[in-house]
Structure 1
């Protein structure tokens, strides 16, 4: 049983995240084609409510587990780390069960009081309720393994969870579609339950597989005075409450869209059906693509929490700075070209993935938020690892206020409509990212490296030109959007990598940090004189 290094852990989670997103993208494509914009809109009206209930019941505690377990392990207190996990597991099981019943029996109340404007979403909301218990218990195991800096169990469970979720979603949606669109959307929502149960079984397997090793470490550790159960619960609550509130802000933002966007689109002159369809384009098609582009930054953030917590416990400020700088540098090398490419190919991507060009405008605008969201995710991981878990929630609350105001005003303008809602979301990401950066500079002394960022911008600009030329060239010869889109993405990615090497945006140490293949790849690039030490 050996823990993963910081970057290895991020790499493992990233690979799993890519697989999960690929499966999820296939799901979005199939679901969009099966249900259409209106059906996806019904599904999206239920899903933010599920995320809100889930965030309240489980989101903060896994991060708190990760922080405290990493702290215990830094002091070689394996017995204490295991006690933290067992206590938190009991708390999560109880809260998960409570919120399962609350969501199931509260679905009708949400419809009756017009929190959800389309009454057809009732079945989709109720169908999501059973998933909360399984996901809540599952999250306690993930928090424990991440605190141990063992990311493989989390990665494997994520893949199995998504696979079973997608299969059951599509199957139930297809079976129930003849009964009506609202029942098909409910069938899609129900898939979250079997998926979470499959992920939980995977984590149980890893736990029992490593249990002898856990027991050996606890039996052979030095005698350490154990923290009382009451103290552990108090620390978990102290750390988890702000993190839960911060995570609640994400579904709260989604619920802001749910409450404001369709209603303000109606003010702008759209019918209820048209507003639902546009809402589906924004939240069901554009937002998932933005999340797809930030898989690595989300993985870096998850890996940063225990890594920074460990370094902070040992008083190693230099290691905290180095890990923060590495994570931010890698984040920018992913998010900046992703933003440029997605903005330029928004409509072709929408047509390729969803069979409609209508989501292209929302995708192009939200692409701006990829870079900002990456910064926000990484800095949140750093602040949580330092134990300053209250700061991100305050920053997100401030950014949410900005979003509310902008969504209310801009979406009702007929010339903007759904574009106004998209720009409000970008502003939300930007305000939260800037505020987080201020506090990271205050506590770590880190600020964005202008030189490295400029190199990434230059490479992305060249990439953008190549993308447009390649799309026009391939499209003119084949008249096939999918081939032109994939070909231009490939050409643009190659151009970005080459230009980045030429301007010195990547160094040997960056490549060498990649697990397994890094050393050999760096040697090859050095021999080709594309890289220098």
Structure 2
């Protein structure tokens, strides 16, 4: 019972959830990176290729199977919980679970029995990927069901189950992939790729078990609380509930399909326009790899925090919206945008200044540095887009971010066509087009956030963030050159990044960009950090 109250109230719940999801995301990324290194050595390039042939089909089926419904569950659950209609929240979940079970089962069977057809019709160019398709098919059902529980628990603004399940899922996925790939390798590379593909289902089953445990704990508390409350809420009929779920979920589903669609447009346009600029086919392929395989993943890694923030923000805004508390909506939006600025502006500056050293450290490809430096601005733009999308979804306007993504995609296609063919730009033209794509989507979102909430960005706070990042950038410029004379390249890069973070935080504290209240909101370490910084005279109340 106390757990319910703690999760419903607490002004900083969405910040706590953000930090929990961010920590989980980092752990999952590290585990996944180590797994990919080991798996590549087990399967080799050929085996990885077979696995990669089957995986896009799986991702497409999964996108169609979940169809944005978990986000809709999160929004509607948050609304019901805000009104203390716990029975209504459970009814929403039960009906949506039935829908997702049916969809997950249907797409799993379709992939399993359609695998041979995909190979015969040459959608899958190499017939040896057949076993990987079969092995991935059960995972569609399991991940679809798992996503429904995540959406429901997130609607209660409880992010720990999502975080724990992500880590457990990744651990079981990696262990299964490596074990079965090694065991089946003597039977042939096609069997080994199939064995590696079993990891998706095993990981999903483990993650689902974790969520079932948290769901059982929550339901125990919900049942106790519901008995104390009068049953004053009329029961909605199933038809109206399903209609609301579909209205909210359909735009989210379209947006998830748009991402691979835009990626495929890049695949068709960018290499061809690079060739028009005078590059050979091999050079165009290499440059395209720098952009999509190196620069874009670095941007995504730098925005792990804002991706988690957007997930936490959806139910937080939906709760305030259900209560009709416009002031709280603005407060939570302002806090989220402020956090986005604090985190992504320095991250963009670091990636811009240290593009080549970071590319060398991560990929052993200093040639990618030029593209990374151009795309660095996208860290801020993508972060802003993610956060504003979370606000709009929480308000129930799930279609607006999708329309904005569509407009920005058109801008990207036009710019790709024009800029990439210019010999002076080449692949940098594609990077600028990608940045413009994210920028257009972000600022269109920001306009609609203002329109529906009245929120205006605090330009003074933004100026402090930019000034702190500028001082930090000067420190990077001076320190990197000096450190490179006595340290290795890797040591210099890591030491410079650490120093940059310290300088940025200190300047932010001295300028009043971080207050005692801000730091106290940080779970676990907030109080201790306040004591230390106050003792150093760096903290303003």
Contact persistence 2:287–2:427 (CA under 8 A): yes
Measured in 2, the distance between the counterparts of 1:296 and 1:236 equals 27
Contact persistence 2:67–2:250 (CA under 8 A): no
Report what 1:497 is aligned to.
505
Contact persistence 2:277–2:422 (CA under 8 A): yes
Measured in 1, the distance between the counterparts of 2:204 and 2:136 equals 11
Aligned residue for 1:476, secondary structure, equals: coil
Shift of 1:238: 1.1
Unaligned runs of 5+ in 2: 8-12
Report what 2:477 is aligned to.
468
User: Pairwise mapping of residues 293-332 of structure 1 onto structure 2 (< 5 A)?
Assistant: 293-332=302-341
Bigger mean CA offset, 124-133 vs 355-364: 124-133
Bigger mean CA offset, 256-265 vs 320-329: 256-265
| 1:164-211 Cα deviation digits (max 9, x unpaired) | 333444556677889999887776655433322221121122223333
Bigger mean CA offset, 128-137 vs 362-371: 128-137
Report what 1:444 is aligned to.
453
Aligned residue for 1:208, secondary structure, equals: helix
Report what 2:10 is aligned to.
none
Bigger mean CA offset, 91-100 vs 494-503: 91-100
Aligned residue for 1:359, secondary structure, equals: helix
Q: 1:199 to 1:414 in 2, by over 3 A?
A: farther
Q: 1:360 to 1:82 in 2, by over 3 A?
A: same
Report what 2:166 is aligned to.
158
Q: Does 1:89 align with 2:97?
A: yes
Q: 1:131 aligns with which of 125, 139, 143?
A: 139
Contact persistence 2:276–2:421 (CA under 8 A): yes
| 1:431-457 Cα deviation digits (max 9, x unpaired) | 110100000011111122221111111
Q: Does 1:485 align with 2:493?
A: yes
| 1:453-504 Cα deviation digits (max 9, x unpaired) | 11111111222232233333333223x2221211111111111111111222
Report what 2:347 is aligned to.
338
Bigger mean CA offset, 203-212 vs 313-322: 203-212
Shift of 1:338: 0.7
Contact persistence 2:509–2:540 (CA under 8 A): no
Q: 1:61 aligns with which of 69, 81, 87?
A: 69
Q: 1:383 to 1:211 in 2, by over 3 A?
A: same
Aligned residue for 2:80, secondary structure, equals: helix
Bigger mean CA offset, 186-195 vs 483-492: 186-195
Bigger mean CA offset, 367-376 vs 112-121: 112-121
Report what 1:385 is aligned to.
394
Measured in 1, the distance between the counterparts of 2:198 and 2:114 equals 16
Contact persistence 1:293–1:335 (CA under 8 A): yes
Relative to the length of structure 2, the TM-score reads 0.88
Q: 1:420 to 1:377 in 2, by over 3 A?
A: same
Report what 2:205 is aligned to.
197
Report what 1:206 is aligned to.
214
Q: Does 1:516 align with 2:508?
A: no
Measured in 2, the distance between the counterparts of 1:181 and 1:53 equals 25
Measured in 2, the distance between the counterparts of 1:264 and 1:40 equals 28
Measured in 2, the distance between the counterparts of 1:426 and 1:414 equals 19
Relative to the length of structure 1, the TM-score reads 0.89
Q: 1:489 to 1:280 in 2, by over 3 A?
A: same
Contact persistence 1:344–1:364 (CA under 8 A): yes
User: Pairwise mapping of residues 15-94 of structure 1 onto structure 2 (< 5 A)?
Assistant: 15-27=23-35, 47=55, 49-94=57-102
Measured in 2, the distance between the counterparts of 1:255 and 1:102 equals 24
Shift of 1:59: 4.8
User: How many residue pairs end up in the alignment?
Assistant: 532
Q: 1:464 to 1:237 in 2, by over 3 A?
A: same
Shift of 1:43: 6.4
Q: 1:403 to 1:195 in 2, by over 3 A?
A: farther
Bigger mean CA offset, 427-436 vs 402-411: 402-411
Report what 2:412 is aligned to.
403
Measured in 1, the distance between the counterparts of 2:197 and 2:286 equals 18
Contact persistence 1:44–1:283 (CA under 8 A): no
Report what 1:286 is aligned to.
295
Aligned residue for 2:538, secondary structure, equals: coil
Measured in 1, the distance between the counterparts of 2:424 and 2:50 equals 25
Shift of 1:106: 6.2
Shift of 1:354: 2.5
| 1:348-402 Cα deviation digits (max 9, x unpaired) | 2222222333433333232221100111111111111111111111111111122
| 1:310-341 Cα deviation digits (max 9, x unpaired) | 11111110000000000110111110111111
CA RMSD of aligned residues (A): 3.3
Q: 1:120 to 1:486 in 2, by over 3 A?
A: farther
Contact persistence 1:350–1:356 (CA under 8 A): yes
Contact persistence 1:115–1:259 (CA under 8 A): no
Contact persistence 2:404–2:445 (CA under 8 A): yes
Q: 1:330 to 1:164 in 2, by over 3 A?
A: same
Measured in 1, the distance between the counterparts of 2:109 and 2:259 equals 22
| 1:124-171 Cα deviation digits (max 9, x unpaired) | 667644432222111100000001111110110111122233344455
Q: 1:436 to 1:126 in 2, by over 3 A?
A: farther
Measured in 2, the distance between the counterparts of 1:40 and 1:338 equals 32
